[in-house]
Structure 1
């Protein structure tokens, strides 16, 4: 059997699997992504992003699908609302999302109306209550994968496996649109997903909002700079002119300005009995563990985790640019500007405006004084 026939046979087997309800004689068609416990699943032993991953307590529960196609119109009716888009993206974290794929990522899921449930790799639409379960090998590295349905014994078999995996990913990408219930706004053929994606990016027109977020974040970083400086950071990711813009806006420690510029916010989270300080990007799912700390004032606590985290003792500098997800708007271009470059443009504009206002005030004051003295001389 050739490669194409083998691939087709495997996909036919996976797509033909059906589950029958214990309370009904009606069979429900379920794709490979909807199987929670019927296919064997091998978890890797790697520990991404400095936190041990474990099997969640409810990850082996029987398959439960919301059978109701009822549309929840109270769940928000504006697909272009950027705040709810950010909320959907932030629902993905290292505890409930285990895939690192260039195409099937939290942003792609979120712009199609899905957010991640606390159960691992389970997507929910809060508008129509649809559920989509993603079942893939968690590693896409050829040297690390242990497949569920194919023994990798030679290069030909290995390539065949990855071909099947790519086809499954393509199938999931299509289902991000089609698995919503009929009547759901996310399934509407007239909805332009690229216009939804546009809301995710930083834009000069959002100047006030971006400036408020930057300023509030910077102030909190200054208040807790001892925690931030527990680590060392790469400086050469910003050039001389960019440094001048940052320091013209605020003459505080350059590192703190850089942390704020690249969108990292200080958070705290309990891992077991330890309270850890970390940096979290407010536009993607990445986190940087800083170290153990006391409770931090005015710093948002993230959901606690019952098991301890692994904290790297590496002395290498943190690259605040490279630490982002590859799809993060802080480091990807939109209208020829990366997200952090938009922030720089806004900071530069504000600094120049303040300078002009100061000049105008001085000129007005000088003119008033001279005019007054001239009048006094005339009266005398």
Structure 2
């Protein structure tokens, strides 16, 4: 059955899409699945990890106690995966590989979103730093312990490479072991854009829901005015949740359409007819058109200034940094406060890295509970 699936996949893919049958394999040899392609198997392994389940209670922008309807790191990941599959399908890329990369791209995120990551990176400055993208890679290659013959998930080379070559405005990871002279695959580049489209749309949605900025504030954005015009809403009129949903849908649709149109043109102009040629191309081929890209950059600047730097979020981020720092300092000072299973890993890595791994794996709720156990004398340990 796997061979049939591989044959169907090969017929469907464009010449520059990565074929699972041509995968460079896994670090540890394993028998192939009888019913799944290699990339489908990667996707399934990622979904079943402890790290994936923990994303349910990790901050995207709002901490879990702010409300039940804001995005979490898990719902963000699912939105990214859905967008990634859609774009891969339209561009002739491998949907399963794209989805696997999308599902794994935030596995290593610390609790409390970028505030937690920022503080861990500061605390780890003398010990190699901390980056959630690199941490995601560590999870799938080392930290998840689910198989008797190897650490990690033993994912294919292509999924691991796609994870390490994931690039955003915030993240560029070291990929020395994965032919650094080559760019990311089509599927990994699609995952990058799916990530950006998802967070631009849902942060705008959540920011409106949370009243972090007003409809009048948004009028400065060309893209907002265009979206409202399409939705048939005019300033001064009643703005309902249905208007908000329609505008967010239109933003996602426009973004995906622009990326696919621009990418198709870039693939054709570059004469790209193989995965190798795509990865050796001097520029990423997946991206926005220049005109739409400027509108997206303006939206991102708006969200940074009016949402991410809003006093309510800054207060939350400041508290989060204090929680993370308190946990880190306590465990470094007295490692015996670490759980036995975590303490046992001190034979494998330096104390600071073990502590960072432990904290990064926490959900927001667990981190708050641990902080209370360590610092509140009325809370039982």
| TM-score between both structures, scaled by the size of structure 1 | 0.24
| TM-score between both structures, scaled by the size of structure 2 | 0.24
Of structures 1 and 2, the larger Rg is shown by 1
Report the structure, 1 or 2, having the larger strand content.
Answer: 1
Report the structure, 1 or 2, having the larger helix content.
Answer: 2
